[in-house]
Structure 1
Amino acid sequence: MTDILILSNGPGEVTTWVRPVVQEIRRQFPQARLSVVLSPCPHASGREAAIARSYPDVDRVQAAEDFWPFLLRGKTAENWDWSDEGVVLFLGGDRLFPVLIGRRLGYRIVVYAEWHGQWYPWVDRFAMATPEAIAQAPPRYRHKLYAVGNLMADAGVMRSPLPPIDSQHPGRIGFLPGSKPLKLSLGVPLTLEIADYLGQQRPELEFVIPVAPSLDLDQLAAYANPDQNSTLAALNWTSAQLIHHQGHPYLKTRQGTRLKLHQEVPPHNLLKQCHLCITTVGANTAELAALGVPMVVLLPTHRLDVMRAWDGLPGLLANLPGLGSGFTTLFSWLTWQWLQRQSGGTRLAWANIWAGEQIVPEFLGQFPPSAIGDTVLDFLDHPQKLEQMRQKLRQVSGSGGAAEKIVNLLDFGRRQ
C-alpha cells in the first residue's frame, strides 16, 4: 500500500486546494491511503479538520493542535502507521514542513507553489502555477519544476452563463465578508450597510451570503449584533438579527433588508447564480475568478486598530499586550499611504494580480458604503460591463486541470 500525505493549514487552502486534489488522487490512485495533516495557521478557524474529514476521499485527518509532536517526533495523536512507500504533498503552510516530514518518513516530496519554490535541493518535484515561476528558479533546479496551472481554477471548470437581468431575474448580489474574526468584525457591518443602501434603491434585489464553512450561523450573526461587535457602534452602522423561517435562515437589518444565508460546501452553484459578488480580499477572489463571477473587491480600513491579521513580525507586534493597538494603527496607516501612492492600482484581487491590470474594481480605504452600492448599480444598469468582466476572468484564471497535473507528479514511475 502507498501512503499519500497532504500537508495543509488554513481555511482557504483546505477548501480550495485540498478538495479538488483529494478527488483527483482518489481517481488516479484508488488503492492509496490518503492522510491530511494540518499545521497551525494564524488565520485558522478551528474547523479545518472537520472540513477535511467531510471529504469522503480522505482516510485520515490530524488537526493542527497535534502538529508539533508529529513534526518533532514523528508521532501522530492516533499513532498512525506508515507504509514504506509514500509521497508528501504540500498544499499550504510553511514549506520547510514537507522537507522535514518527508525526510523522516523516507517519502518523496512534491510541493505546490504559486510564485516561487524553496528548499530546492531537498524537494523532488515542484508544481508551479505558471511558466514564469519556473523561470525564476535557479537554473540547476529547473528540471524539478513543472507548470501545472492555477489550482484555484479547478473550481470553475463547470461554468454557467451569466444570469440575465430582467423582470424574471431582477438581480442577485452575493456578499463574502470573510471567514476570519478580524475581517468579519468590519466586513459584516459593511455588508449590512451596502445591502441596506442597495435595497433602498432596488427593493427587488436579492441578497445572499454563502457562509464560510469555518463558521456557524450564530457566529456569523454575532458580528451583526452591537452587543457583540463594537465596530457597529463605533461607526454608527446598522445591525441585524438572525431569523429562522421554515428552515431558511437570513439576517434582517433594522430597515428590513434580508440577506439569505446559505451553508452549502462548496457554494459554487449559489455563486454562479449571482450577477455580482462583493467580497473581501483573499482566496475568495481567486475562487470567484475561477467561476467567472463578476466581483467588487474591498479592503476597508475604517477601523485601523482592528486590522491585525498579518503574518510574520508585523502580526506579532500588532498583538503585543499594551503596545499592539498603537503599532497596528501606525503600521496600517503607513501601509495605506504606501498603497495609495502606487501607480496603476493596488492589485489586491487575485484576478488583477494574475492579469497585471485591474479587471475587477478594488476599493481600499475608508470609503462610504454608498460608493460600493453605486458601483453595483452601475454594473446592473450596464450588463455588458458584467459580461466583459466575466470573459476577462475566464481568460486569466484558466480552464482548470491543475489538480490532475499535480497528482500526475505523485507517480514517480511516470515520465514527465
Structure 2
Amino acid sequence: MLDEILLLTNGPGELSTWVPPVLSRLRREAPGARIELFLIRDQFAAGTEQTKAKALELDAISGRSELTRRLLRGKAKGRGLVLMLGGAPRDAVLLSRATGYPAFSYTFDAKAHHPGLRAVLVDSERTKSAMQARGVDPSRVVVVGNLVVDALNQASRQPTQPADVLLFAGSRPFAARYLLGFLLAAAEQMAKEKPQLRFAWVKSRLLPEAVVAEALQAHRVQDIGGVGASWEGTGLRTLHGLEVAVLDEPERYAAMRRASLAITIPGTNTLELALAGLPSLVLLPLHKPEMLPLEGLWHWLLSLPGARPFKQRFVRGLVSRIPHLALPNQWLNERVFPELRGVFSPTEVAVAGLELLVPQRAQEVRAKLRRLEAEPGADKLVAYVLANS
C-alpha cells in the first residue's frame, strides 16, 4: 500500500479536467494514502487556483515554496509516487529524486518528456508515435486514454439555463479583461441578425471578482469595439440591452450538450467543446499582443522595460507560424473549428459565428469531430501508476 501520493499541476485547464477524475480514482483505489497537490504557478496561471483546489478531496495543497522545501527534506521513509498532471516534467523528476518515489507524467504534448520519468502516460497512439519520432523509447510511453473524456463523463448532466451560444472569455485575468467585452459586442451583432438567439457567458471560478468587475466595465476594449455590461439579477445586460445569462463553471458541460455554438479562445476547453460535439469559433485577438504570456525564457526577456514593441512583433510572428491553435484542429490536422487570429472586429466574429450556426455547416463540423475517437483514461492511468510504484 502507498503511504503518499504527490500530484503536480500548473494550469487552470488541467486543474479542471485532469486532476478531478484522477483524484477520485486514487481515493477509491488507494484509500489510505496521503494525497498532496502542488500548484506550480507560472505565467499562464490565473492566480486563484488554490481557491478552486480547496473544493477537491486533498490532504494538502501546496505551492512552489513548499515544493522547494520538500526537495530539500531528503528521502521519504514510506512508499509513494509522484504524478505530474500538467507542467514541466523536470519538476516531477526533481521531486522523485528528492523523495525516492517513482515519477510519472500525463500529457498530450509529444515534447513533454524527461528521461527521469518512470513512464510518460499519454492520451492516444498519435501522441505516442509523435514521442517515438522524437527519439523517446516507446516502451516508456503508455497510452491510457483522454482525461478530458473522463471529466465530461463525470460531470453533472442536470439541465442548466438554455443557451444557443456560449461565450468563453477564459479563466486567466489577462484574457477575461480584454475578451469579455469583445465577446459581448460580438453577441450584440449576432442578436441583430438573429434576435431569437440566447447567449450565456460561462464564468470561470478562477476569475477574481475584481477582474470580473473590470472586464464588465470594458474600458480596455472600447477602442477595439468592445462593450460593457451590468449585472441584472443573476445575468448581464449589455450596453445596448442584450440579455446574457451567466453560467457557473460546473454547468459548462451540461450547457455544451444543449448549445449550438461556442465562441472561445485556445486552450483545453477547445478539446472539451470538441468532445462534446459543439461547433466552436476560436479567437486569438492580437490587438494588444504584448498582453499574451509566452513559454520559457522569452516571456521574461520580453517583459523587461522597453521590450513592448519587440514582444508585439515576436508574438505576431510566432502566431503566424502556428498552423492550428485549437487542440482538435491540431489533432485532426485540419481547421475543423474556424479560427480568427490577428486584428479583427466584433462584427467579423459575429459573421463567422452565424456561419457556424447554419445547419449544414454545423453538421459538417460535428461529423469531423467524431474522428477524434477519444477514450476515457483515468481508470487505466491510476491502475498503471499504482501497479508500477
What is the CA-CA distance between 1:83 and the residue it aligns to? 5.6
What is the CA-CA distance between 1:52 and the residue it aligns to? 1.7
1:78 maps to none
2:171 maps to 179
2:93 maps to 99
What is the CA-CA distance between 1:106 and the residue it aligns to? 1.3
What is the CA-CA distance between 1:5 and the residue it aligns to? 1.1
Letter in 1 for 2:151: A
Q: How does 1:101-180 map to 2 (within 5 A)?
A: 101-116=95-110, 117-120=112-115, 122-135=116-129, 136-137=131-132, 141-157=137-153, 172-180=164-172
Select which of 351, 371, 396 maps to 2:328. Answer: 351
**Structure 2 contact 316–342 (Cα < 8 Å) conserved:** no
What is the CA-CA distance between 1:303 and the residue it aligns to? 2.5
Letter in 2 for 1:251: L
> Are residue 407 (structure 1) and residue 382 (structure 2) matched?
yes
> Are residue 215 (structure 1) and residue 207 (structure 2) matched?
yes
**Structure 1 contact 289–397 (Cα < 8 Å) conserved:** no
2:309 maps to 326
2:318 maps to 335
1:49 maps to 50
Deviations 1:108-128 (A, max 9, x none): 2111132335332x2212212
TM-score by length of 2: 0.89
Deviations 1:211-257 (A, max 9, x none): 1121144422311214xx4232x3253222233x2xx2x22211001
What is the CA-CA distance between 1:267 and the residue it aligns to? 2.4
The 1:264/1:347 distance shift into structure 2, 3 A limit, reads: closer
**Structure 2 contact 186–346 (Cα < 8 Å) conserved:** yes
Alpha-carbon separation, structure 2, partners of 1:350 and 1:320: 31
> Are residue 239 (structure 1) and residue 224 (structure 2) matched?
no
| Identical amino acids, percent of aligned pairs | 28
What is the CA-CA distance between 1:32 and the residue it aligns to? 2.5
The 1:59/1:191 distance shift into structure 2, 3 A limit, reads: same
**Structure 1 contact 308–319 (Cα < 8 Å) conserved:** no
Select which of 250, 255, 259 maps to 2:240. Answer: 255
Q: How does 1:60-79 map to 2 (within 5 A)?
A: 60-64=60-64, 66-71=66-71, 73-74=72-73
The 1:40/1:376 distance shift into structure 2, 3 A limit, reads: closer
Alpha-carbon separation, structure 2, partners of 1:31 and 1:22: 13
Q: Tell me how large the CA RMSD over aligned residues is.
A: 2.7
Deviations 1:159-217 (A, max 9, x none): 999x9xxxxx8x61000011223222321121111011012222221111111121144
Alpha-carbon separation, structure 1, partners of 2:17 and 2:50: 14
2:32 maps to 31
What is the CA-CA distance between 1:82 and the residue it aligns to? 5.9
SS at match of 1:230: coil
Q: How many residues in Structure 1 have an aligned counterpart in Structure 2?
A: 382
**Structure 2 contact 279–356 (Cα < 8 Å) conserved:** no
Select which of 376, 385, 410 maps to 2:361. Answer: 385
> Are residue 267 (structure 1) and residue 252 (structure 2) matched?
yes
Alpha-carbon separation, structure 1, partners of 2:196 and 2:386: 53
**Structure 2 contact 148–271 (Cα < 8 Å) conserved:** yes
TM-score by length of 1: 0.84
2:198 maps to 206
- Structure 2 stretches lacking a partner, 5+ long: none
What is the CA-CA distance between 1:284 and the residue it aligns to? 1.4
Alpha-carbon separation, structure 2, partners of 1:367 and 1:140: 41
